[in-house]
Amino acid sequence: MEEKCGIPEDYFDFIYSIYAIGWTTNLEVTFCRIVSYLKKDGVFIFSWSHPIHKCVVAENNMLTLSDRKLSTYVNALAKAGFVIEQMIEQSDDEIMQSRNSDFAKKKQRCFL
């Protein structure tokens, strides 16, 4: 993600990343690379688990796990030139409602 790979610059209207962006070893460089691929006013949409943490980072020629906060992502996006128009976070209640499982039913009984 961090290196040029032959993708044309100023080419895409939309770029999507579904549960991948958190694995980059250099978030700021990756976001700058994505900006370069987008046309002016292009849109970048990505998803990642929340809280955002436990990502791989390169330190001293070694790959280690790093805790990234939500602010790390927001600040890296801003530094790359993105403007955040919307951030959507799913609540625990929404997650539980979307699961039709015994676990969800047991949770509901615990809080009655």
Domain ranges within the chain, ordered by starting residue: 12-110
Task: For residue 22, name the pLDDT band (cuts at 50, 70, 90).
Answer: confident
Q: Position of tokens 């390169």?
A: 58
pTM of the model: 0.59
Cα of first residue to Cα of last residue in the chain, in angstroms, is 47
Angstrom distances, CA of residue 4 to CA of 9, 45, 77 = 10, 20, 19
pLDDT at 61 over 60: yes
Closest listed residue to residue 30, CA positions, set 84, 76, 63: 76
Which residues are registered as beta bridge partners of 17?
46
Fold of the domain spanning 12-110: Rossmann fold (3.40.50)
Q: Can you tell me the mean pLDDT for 23-27?
A: 90
